[in-house]
Amino acid sequence: MLITEDYNELNSHIKVRNKEVKVLLVNHFDDKIAFSGQKQANKSSVFFSKSVTAECLAETIRTTDPIRQSAEIITQCLQEMDFDLQDSVCEANDLDIAWTNIVIPEPLVNFLQY
């Protein structure tokens, strides 16, 4: 499970296993959570709300394009960034100052950290 990997990466002093995470999820969400059955032990399980039908989940997966969605978010973030170079000839010093003062939008930071 990616949850297990992320947790263990953030908390190197405490290691958890997939089974423990699954038990915690079941204890927290009770009978409102379902897990995909994996035939291979080394494959991660997918968990989702039981209120979502398998057909609905499959349709969402089929019609979702995460690459396109990510590209649209990144494009929007970059278009909204202000490098404050309108009245500049873009010499090296101007670019250094602009880069020092720029605030990178959170969605872009989140994307680049993976």
Note the pLDDT tens digit of each residue in 42-83: 677 778 788 888 788 889 889 999 899 989 999 999 888 888
Q: Do residue 102 and residue 88 come from a single domain?
A: yes
Q: Do residue 25 and residue 46 come from a single domain?
A: yes
Q: How many domains does the chain have?
A: 2
Q: Are 88 and 97 in contact (CB under 8 A)?
A: no
Please, which residues bridge with residue 47 across strands? 35
Whole-angstrom Cα distance, residue 76 to residue 106?
Answer: 12
Q: Do residue 9 and residue 46 come from a single domain?
A: yes
Q: Which residue among 48, 63, 78 closes a domain?
A: 63
Q: Do residue 53 and residue 71 come from a single domain?
A: no
Q: Do residue 59 and residue 7 come from a single domain?
A: yes
User: Mean pLDDT for the chain?
Assistant: 84
What's the mean pLDDT in 2-14?
Answer: 79
For residue 92, give its domain range: 66-112
Q: Do residue 58 and residue 11 come from a single domain?
A: yes
Per-residue pLDDT at 1 = 53
